[in-house]
Amino acid sequence: MIDLHSHSNHSDGSLTPQDLVRYAHQCGIKRLALTDHDTISGVLEAQNEAHKLGMEFICGVEISVSWKKHVIHIVGLGIDISDQNLIEALDIQQNMREERAIAIGEELANMGLDTVYPLAKELAKDAYLTRTHFAKALVKLGFAKNFSDAFKTYLKRGKRAYVHIDWLSLTSAVEIIIKSGGKAVIAHPLRYDLTKTKLKELIVDFKLAGGEGIEVVNSFPSVGALRRLETLCVDYDLLASLGSDYHGHDVNRVRMGALAQLPEKCKLII
Ligand code: AMP
Ligand code: MN
Ligand code: MN
Ligand code: MN
């Protein structure tokens, strides 16, 4: 079983890289990629554990990019984590995260929720803050019923505590991934609320930059979604990726080891 999309507590996952790999192993995963948001700091620990357990490990990352007015996630698979270009680009992304987190904290404080930022920071420990940490804090403090409520009420685009970031451009992110020896994949292509036309434009721009794959299976897709993505792979000559996007038992109900197979006409990217 293969899983090419997962998160550790180096971004917004709950498990340490080592525990994540152990969990994946228990779930029967034979080939695993760790793909934390805008960081590769957990990769070595995960790789060491995977090799101890005799698993195949793929160094990965999930880069946030700005494309037109949208934030898109690009997964890099098989990257070289000692690549200076990649390291520098991710450092810039993380600095922007830090600044955004402070601004989100201020916005929440203006709403009278000044305890959220300190708790989010505590929950993140050494990791840079993601909106997931804010959602966790909002739920723990009783300001939101659950994750989805925390995003809907405060954190989503258009809501009061949403703070915009100009992430790396799509083209730069794809080029950085490729230069470091990796392959670029559009993560969860149906989760961006793009019209069919816009999604096709995204794919065209992505391919022009050198991107090769789209994530056909992300957590538990519907039959309809699988069919749509399979068609895009065929029509645009794209390779396919699959992953649980596991974040930890406490974050959502996604488990590892239960992924749907890639549809017949899809070719696995790695
Ligand atoms: P960030 O990269 O800090 O903006 O945070 C994005 C992360 O927040 C995503 O990777 C998801 O894990 C999580 N997320 C985004 N939207 C939602 C949502 N509506 N419900 C639950 N989690 C979400
Ligand atoms: Mn996440
Ligand atoms: Mn994502
Ligand atoms: Mn992810």
For residue 230, give both structure tokens.
């399979």
What is the per-residue pLDDT for 14? 97
Q: CB of 209 within 8 A of CB of 95?
A: no
Q: CB of 202 within 8 A of CB of 194?
A: yes
User: Model pTM?
Assistant: 0.98
pLDDT at 252 over 90: no
Question: pLDDT tens digit string along 48-81?
Answer: 999 999 999 999 999 999 999 999 999 999 999 9
Ligand 1 cavity residues, CB under 6 Å: 12, 37, 64, 130-132, 147-148, 151, 247
Average pLDDT over the chain, rounded to an integer: 98
What is the per-residue pLDDT for 253? 82
Rounded to an integer, what distance in angstroms lies between the CA atom of residue 10 and that of residue 137?
17
Residue 63 host element (H or E): strand 56-67
Residue with tokens 């520098």: 88
What is the per-residue pLDDT for 141? 98
Separation of 97 CA from ligand 1 center, angstroms?
13
Residue to probe by mutation, ligand 1, list 123, 130, 166, 188, most atoms within 8 Å of CB: 130
Question: pLDDT tens digit string along 133-142?
Answer: 999 999 999 9
Question: pLDDT tens digit string along 152-183?
Answer: 999 999 999 999 999 999 999 999 999 999 99
pLDDT-derived band of residue 39, with 50, 70 and 90 as boundaries? very high
What is the per-residue pLDDT for 251? 87
What is the per-residue pLDDT for 223? 97
Residue type at position 1 = M
Neighbours of 139 (CB within 10 A): 16
Nearest-atom number in ligand 1 for the CA of 37 is 2
Strand partners, 241: 215
Nearest-atom number in ligand 1 for the CA of 247 is 12
